[in-house]
Amino acid sequence: MLASSEAVFGVPEIFICAVVFVFGAVIGSFLNVVIYRVPNELSLLPGSACPNCKQAIKFYHNIPILGWLMLGGKCSNCKEPIAWRYPAVELLTALVFLLTYFVIGLTAMLPVCLVFVATMIALLFIDAEHMILPNVITYPLFIAAVGVRVIFPLAFEGFRFSDMAFAPVNYLQGYPGWQVSLAGAILGAIAGGGLLWAVGAIWKALRGVEAMGLGDVKMMLGVGAILGWRLTILTIFLGAFTGALAGVVMVLRSKDRDLQTQLPFGIFLGIGSIVALLFGDRLIAWYINTFVP
């Protein structure tokens, strides 16, 4: 489904790919700032400084990926190592942006999808490091998701989110597109946030321990609203599956580790939601064709 950018802009595809990659790396650099400052309740505005000696980082050392390589992974002033997370997030964001462009193409949904994957990358790294999913990210995610679900069918004639072709959302066929879309968003939010909340409540009742925080529930309200119930259930399935695998690996690798240790589930939900956004409809179609008679 690669959009033919050569036809659109008259520029070679490779050039568009390079622009998307560099743009992704720059956004990744901004996500590093978000990942470091939001959980510590610092302002996003002042320029970058070494966390150790507070020396301001020169603009040419701030170039995504290359800056870290030029510095050899150390602060130029105090020689304190700079975490590999910084170039890793920049490279990861660049690659995920490129993949998103390949899958979604040059369509109106591309900016929405890029914001979505960037938000998921920020959330999963914050959850990995701080075991929290900040409200200042999850609340705007939900509001933006509902906004997109209402605005897109109004702005683009005949625009359909994938859940609108399936039950029960398609029962509303006679209604205006934005209302059908909004109903799909609400159902998706309930499927995401509601399901996670219910699982957490049941787990707490049975085992007497908190299985997951409300952060996961709030995150999945937004993910559910934008993806719709089908891709949201897939997200939770992918998250639970990869999370369980990671949990098994963790337990095997450290035998004395307390089994009650919480895994930051947001990591796996974040990965699952990106996979569901980009490949979910094809994965579900493949599953149904293969396993449902």
Interface with Zn ion by CB under 5 A: which residues? Answer: 50, 52-53, 75, 77-78, 80
Residues 6 or more apart in contact with residue 211 via CB below 8 angstroms = 199, 200, 203, 204
CB-nearer residue toward Zn ion: 2 or 78? 78
CB-nearer residue toward Zn ion: 74 or 207? 74
| β-bridge mates for residue 56, sequence order | 49
> What is the chain's percent helix, strand, coil content, to nearest 5?
70, 0, 30
Torsion of CA 114, 32, 86, 65, to 10 degrees: 50
CB-nearer residue toward Zn ion: 54 or 253? 54
Least distance to Zn ion from the beta carbon of 55, Å? 5
Q: 160 and 177 in contact (C-beta within 8 Å)?
A: yes
In the block, residue with structure tokens 């400084």: 49
Least distance to Zn ion from the beta carbon of 24, Å? 27
The neighbour count for residue 142, using CB atoms within 10 Å, is 22
CB-nearer residue toward Zn ion: 78 or 244? 78
The neighbour count for residue 224, using CB atoms within 10 Å, is 31
Q: Which two tokens stand for residue 114?
A: 């890029």
Least distance to Zn ion from the beta carbon of 271, Å? 32
Least distance to Zn ion from the beta carbon of 58, Å? 12
Least distance to Zn ion from the beta carbon of 46, Å? 16
CB-nearer residue toward Zn ion: 78 or 249? 78
CB-nearer residue toward Zn ion: 82 or 234? 82
Least distance to Zn ion from the beta carbon of 33, Å? 17
| β-bridge mates for residue 49, sequence order | 56
Q: 238 and 158 in contact (C-beta within 8 Å)?
A: no
Least distance to Zn ion from the beta carbon of 82, Å? 8
CB-nearer residue toward Zn ion: 17 or 83? 83
Q: 211 and 247 in contact (C-beta within 8 Å)?
A: no
- What three-state secondary structure class fits 211? coil
Backbone angles phi, psi at 74, to 5 degrees: -130, 150
